[in-house]
Amino acid sequence: MTTEVGSEAEVKKEAEKLEPDTAKEKPEEASESLENQKTEETEETQDSSSSPVPTSQSSPTSRKERDPSEGKGISRFLPPWLKKQKSYSIAEPKDEAKKKAEGDEHVEECERQLPEEVAELKGEAAAENHQTKTDDKEEEKHSVSSAETQPAKEDSKEIEVEKVTEEPEEKLEEETGKRETKEVQTTEIKMEKAPQKAPKKIKTVQCKVMLLDGTEYSCDLEKRAKGQVLFDRVCEHLNLLEKDYFGLLFYENSDQKNWLDSSKEIKRQIRNFPWLFTFHVKFYPPDPSQLTEDITRYFLCLQLRQDIVSGRLPCSFVTHALLGSYTLQAELGDYDPEEHNSDYISEFQFAPNQTKEMEDKVVELHKTHRGLTPAQADSQFLENAKRLSMYGVDLHHAKDSEGVDIMLGVCANGLLIYKDRLRINRFAWPKILKISYKRSNFYIKVRPAELEQFESTIGFKLPNHRAAKRLWKVCVEHHTFFRLISPEQPAKGKFLTLGSKFRYSGRTQAQTRQASNLIDRPAPYFERTSSKRISRSLDGAPVGITDQSLLRDLSATAAGPTGDEAAVLAKLKNGESREEDGSPIKSPPLELTQDGKNNSLKVDGENIYVRHSNLMLEDLDKTQDDLLKHQASISELKRSFMESTPEPRPNEWEKRRITPLSLQTQGSSHETLSVVEEKKRAEVGIEETVVINEINEGKIQVAIDGGEPCKVEQLSKKDSSSTSSESSSSSESEDEEVGEYQPYHRVTEDVIREEKEGNEDAKEVEGYTAKVVQCVESVIEGSKEKVSIGHAQVAEESLVEGNAVSGTPEEKSFTEEAKQDLREEREEEQLKINGDLSHIGIDVKPQIICCSEPPVVKTEMVTISDATQRTEISTKEVPIVQTETKTITYESPQLDGSAGGDAGVLLSAQTITSESVSTTTTTHITKTVKGGVSETRIEKRIVITGDADIDHDQALAQAIKEAKEQHPDMSVTRVVVHKETELAEEDEG
């Protein structure tokens, strides 16, 4: 199983490698696409090819795929376009990848291995190679990675690609040309050696990983390997399946630890630091008894022992003793007076400052554990450790608004604020609306407290911006892991979102639990290494500390944290919140765009972006240092931009107004799809409508024309600042100056799991929640009909509703208020924008109601059209069979013009219908001209019919994928999911 997982990862990699190749053929794209985004591409390579959709949409899918125990064929998840265009990458590469994985192993061990094995490897590879040559050139990639002989020409190409991958900044054509030659030579030299020592051909780097038992694991990795490869190797080495709780750390200096991002190249993350990592628990399971395997619990124990000994996890004397006694029981078994003389214990380390008294107590307690198996002792250890208040709390140094030193602790439940050892505040995830950082400041926006009217933003000052980003990432990851059912989609690469696009892409706790349930292997044998060995091997120093000391020499060279700048303003009320709201954080997601083809035809902001790309190109010949300097100056520019932003900054609601404006010009929203993806989880998706919207003319001013000039100005400023940020992130993702994360724009998932804070009305809340859950989780029995959807407000409303449910009861009322505000805002928005921006919905409604007839069930139509009137988006009863209907609209926050306004001039309209086994697709295309801009709207109505046998989620995702594929230069602006469920058999959740 493990191997297979590994090889799946390889498949991914293979696919990724293809990407740059494709990109290379389209220089424009290449220049546009940024950094590792590109390399993050998965099977979806073709999908809006330049758009670096990292793990995004495909991520849950591929995750699923990667769990062989689910027993579903990969190909079933792969959209046909992928099959058509790159069929080899589905089938053959998979094989190859497997071989390659094997191959890699061989490489690793070849020195020690039997010669036949090497020969075998060669044979394999040779066969591969043969096959490869007959394939198209993209195939080369595979064979090269399998370390086999290649015609030089092809090889050079590969290298060139490699170059592109490694240094996207250097994607300039001239430059690549130069490099090409150089590389060709190198490869040729390599080629000569190849026949004798095939494995040597791979450019590898030796990685060392400190394991939890104090041993070191080393392996050779391809230089360009992603974090996942190393992580998988380590987990394989450890025989660990429930690996999502773990991660690899690397240290920037003695106390700055970073998580290795699995989805990114290692090299890019660790920069100049040595390839030295520490295997570490990343997400401490709040209830370790829910882990499936003892071996997982064992590693968690090892981690906690480290945490305790290093002082990271403070315990009382008694707890030290108790936990120590379980450690003894687990590692030595029952106390044996003969064997366990008075000295046996002092070789173990149980506490940072271990005393004789403590050791005595440990021994006494050890005696009482007679009969506990090692696994039971571990469980007891964990049961006690998990209750410690600092269990699983990841602490970060910070200062509050007054410059007072505090600690921010990130944990499963939220963010804890400590001053010295005291908890002085706590923000549970449900309280937090947004997490962001800007430079070295870290912000959380929290729901209004009771009796407060506005959300407030609380700022903290971190030692430097990397620390701020690190904290932000950890928050994003913890929130996602512990509170969501599936990871949120990373911002689609096609958007030029400002700042970090980072999102947690691994499995969530819910997913990993689900996956663990499928683990079907006999409990693996493993040896519990003695804790004394740990302490011995590290000269008695606590492991955790030693980890860092290993890097001490590094820290000298490493860029240390900056000094303590004056702490920054902390608490801002929404209305006056300048930093926050004026910041480009919220700035409209500029579209990095589909294909790169219509770059030049873009709106202001994007022109700036393009210009900027050119700027980057100018830097190509510069050294890395120069580049960094350049980025720094860009950051500086951006900073001054931010700081010079005009005084009247928009508040939250104004932002909502603004966003649609800009989005309109961009014509797309990443949120749309991501939400749909999320929807999949809820087993919905009988029918969905994908509205594809394109602005394919160069006239930029549409959206802005009649709008409010001042806002436009602001917008463009934001755009440009976001541009510069993008540039800095493009060459070094770790340098993003800002990042933003909004835990709660995902409705359904959070609804389900939302913690109910506060005691009052708990029942009431539960009832409410339960209802929603039911809606979400009901399974589709047979799909029938459809429904017409009014406007964007629907989506907004449901979002708000979700919040209300998720919030505490007290908060509910405020959410209501918020809703009120929202409505007002919406109305205002329409007033403002009517007349010039309404290029969307007008023609929508009529066509939307095309439908297939319900065979058995009669269903009502739910029409939600009036924003100010809150309509329950849910169920209704029908004679004969009870049906549940649910409609959810996901829409980019752009204006829905259906309320009125200038529809433009209709140029043409056509409707195409196509059918497949379980889906009926109706495509309606309208072309309009409006204000000098022609706009093509394609509306697809896809009816997916079927029962439980059909994976509606997949079908939906695929439909969207297909839509995107068919119209790569368009963007999805709205997805309406309408699901209908027969409630006849109620019990299948």
Partner 1 sequence: EHCLGPGPMATFHAVVRALPESVCQQALRVEKGGAVDFARAEREHQLYVGVLRHKLGLQVLELPADESLPDCVFVEDAAVVCEETALLTRPGAPSRRKEVTEAMKIALESLNLNVVEMTDENATLDGGDVLFTGREFFVGLSKRTNQRGAEILADTFKDYAVSTVPVHDSLHLKSFCSMAGPNLIAIGSSEGAQKALKTMQQMSDHRYDKLTIPDDAAANCLYLNIPNKGHVLLHRAPEEYPESAKVFEKLKDHMLIPIANIELQKVDGALTCCCILINKTSEL
Applying CB under 8 A, among 83, 119, 188, 317 the residue interacting with partner 1 is 317
Q: Using CB atoms within 10 A of its CB, is residue 648 exposed (0-12), middle (13-18) or buried (19+)?
A: exposed
- CA separation for the pair 288, 379 (Å, rounded): 8
| Segment near partner 1 (CB under 8 A); pick from 88-96, 315-323, 454-462, 964-972 | 315-323
SS3 label, residue 249: strand
Residue 114 or 424: the one with the smaller Cβ distance to partner 1 is 424
> Least Å distance between CB 445 and partner 1?
16
Residue 422 or 566: the one with the smaller Cβ distance to partner 1 is 422
Radius of gyration of the chain (CA): 29
> What does the buried/exposed string (b/e) look like for 41-56 if buried means 16 or more CB atoms within 10 Å of the residue's CB?
bbbbbbbbbbbbbbbb
> Least Å distance between CB 570 and partner 1?
17
> Least Å distance between CB 757 and partner 1?
7
Residue 365 or 888: the one with the smaller Cβ distance to partner 1 is 365
# chain residues binding partner 1, by CB under 8 A: 31
Question: Alpha helices of 807-894 — where are they, by DSSP H?
Answer: 809-833, 844-848
> Least Å distance between CB 468 and partner 1?
24
Residue 313 or 703: the one with the smaller Cβ distance to partner 1 is 313
Residue 590: phi and psi, rounded to 5, are: -75, 140
Q: Output DSSP code: residue 414.
A: E
Angle between helices 2-25 and 58-66 (to 10 degrees): 140
Residue 112 or 421: the one with the smaller Cβ distance to partner 1 is 421
CA-wise closest residue to 861 among 847, 843, 873: 873
Applying CB under 8 A, among 316, 341, 623, 644 the residue interacting with partner 1 is 316
Applying CB under 8 A, among 58, 132, 319, 505 the residue interacting with partner 1 is 319
Pairing of β 276-281 and β 204-210: parallel
Q: Which two tokens stand for residue 540?
A: 């008695």
> Least Å distance between CB 50 and partner 1?
45
933 φψ region: left (φ > 0), alpha (ψ -120 to 50), beta (else): beta
Residue 427 or 437: the one with the smaller Cβ distance to partner 1 is 427
632 φψ region: left (φ > 0), alpha (ψ -120 to 50), beta (else): alpha
> Least Å distance between CB 380 and partner 1?
8
User: Within positions 397 to 426, which residues make up the interface with partner 1, using CB under 8 A?
Assistant: 411, 413, 419-426
- CA separation for the pair 30, 267 (Å, rounded): 21
Applying CB under 8 A, among 136, 287, 364, 621 the residue interacting with partner 1 is 364
> Least Å distance between CB 508 and partner 1?
19
| Segment near partner 1 (CB under 8 A); pick from 317-325, 659-667, 763-771, 945-953 | 317-325
Residue 60 or 324: the one with the smaller Cβ distance to partner 1 is 324
Taking CA 580 as the corner, what is the angle to CA 578 and CA 583, rounded to the nearest 5 degrees?
A: 90
> Least Å distance between CB 789 and partner 1?
38
Chain centre to alpha carbon of residue 259? 14
> Least Å distance between CB 410 and partner 1?
13
> Least Å distance between CB 800 and partner 1?
23
H or E stretch covering 51: none
Residue 313 or 608: the one with the smaller Cβ distance to partner 1 is 313
User: Within positions 381 to 400, which residues make up the interface with partner 1, using CB under 8 A?
Assistant: 384, 387-389
> Least Å distance between CB 318 and partner 1?
4
> Least Å distance between CB 320 and partner 1?
9
Q: Which two tokens stand for residue 357?
A: 């008294």
Q: What CA–CA distances, in Å, run from 280 to 230, 234, 462?
A: 13, 11, 23
Q: Give me the residues paired with residue 912 across strands.
A: 923
CA-wise closest residue to 97 among 72, 125, 123: 125
- Determine if 314 is a binding residue for partner 1 (CB under 8 A): yes
Residue showing tokens 């073709």: 46
Applying CB under 8 A, among 17, 86, 142, 361 the residue interacting with partner 1 is 361
> Least Å distance between CB 344 and partner 1?
19
> Least Å distance between CB 233 and partner 1?
36
CA-wise closest residue to 971 among 602, 593, 679: 593
Residue 315 or 627: the one with the smaller Cβ distance to partner 1 is 315
Binding flags for partner 1, 726-765, as an x/- string (CB under 8 A): ------------------------------xxxx--x---
Applying CB under 8 A, among 322, 610, 695, 842 the residue interacting with partner 1 is 322
Pairing of β 883-891 and β 905-915: unpaired
- Determine if 315 is a binding residue for partner 1 (CB under 8 A): yes
Q: Are 208 and 218 in contact (CB under 8 A)?
A: yes
Residue 623 or 759: the one with the smaller Cβ distance to partner 1 is 759
Largest distance between two CA atoms of the chain = 95
Residue 371 or 648: the one with the smaller Cβ distance to partner 1 is 371
Residue 84 or 387: the one with the smaller Cβ distance to partner 1 is 387
Residue 420 or 853: the one with the smaller Cβ distance to partner 1 is 420
- Determine if 353 is a binding residue for partner 1 (CB under 8 A): no
Q: Are 33 and 595 in contact (CB under 8 A)?
A: no
> Least Å distance between CB 463 and partner 1?
23
Kindly give, in sequence order, each residue whose CB lies less than 8 Å from that of residue 750, ignoring residues fewer than 6 positions away.
430, 483, 484, 743, 744, 802, 806
> Least Å distance between CB 381 and partner 1?
11
Residue 136 or 452: the one with the smaller Cβ distance to partner 1 is 452
Residue 318: count other Cβ atoms within 10 Å of its Cβ.
Answer: 11
Counting every residue written for the chain, the total comes to 989
Applying CB under 8 A, among 70, 188, 450, 452 the residue interacting with partner 1 is 450
Applying CB under 8 A, among 318, 523, 905, 948 the residue interacting with partner 1 is 318
Residue 669: count other Cβ atoms within 10 Å of its Cβ.
Answer: 28
CA-wise closest residue to 790 among 678, 873, 694: 873
- Determine if 769 is a binding residue for partner 1 (CB under 8 A): no
Residue 193 or 419: the one with the smaller Cβ distance to partner 1 is 419
> Least Å distance between CB 296 and partner 1?
22
Binding flags for partner 1, 365-384, as an x/- string (CB under 8 A): x------------------x
Q: Which two tokens stand for residue 39?
A: 């390399």
Residue 322 or 691: the one with the smaller Cβ distance to partner 1 is 322
CA-wise closest residue to 720 among 814, 806, 615, 822: 615
> Least Å distance between CB 760 and partner 1?
8
| Segment near partner 1 (CB under 8 A); pick from 2-10, 360-368, 825-833, 858-866 | 360-368
- CA separation for the pair 933, 371 (Å, rounded): 80
CA-wise closest residue to 543 among 313, 315, 333: 313
- Determine if 218 is a binding residue for partner 1 (CB under 8 A): no
- CA separation for the pair 883, 688 (Å, rounded): 18
Residue 629 or 763: the one with the smaller Cβ distance to partner 1 is 763
Residue 501 or 756: the one with the smaller Cβ distance to partner 1 is 756
- CA separation for the pair 973, 989 (Å, rounded): 31
User: Within positions 636 to 695, which residues make up the interface with partner 1, using CB under 8 A?
Assistant: none
Q: Are 983 and 703 in contact (CB under 8 A)?
A: no
**Binding site residues, partner 1, CB under 8 A:** 314-319, 322, 361, 364-365, 384, 387-389, 411, 413, 419-426, 428, 450, 756-759, 762
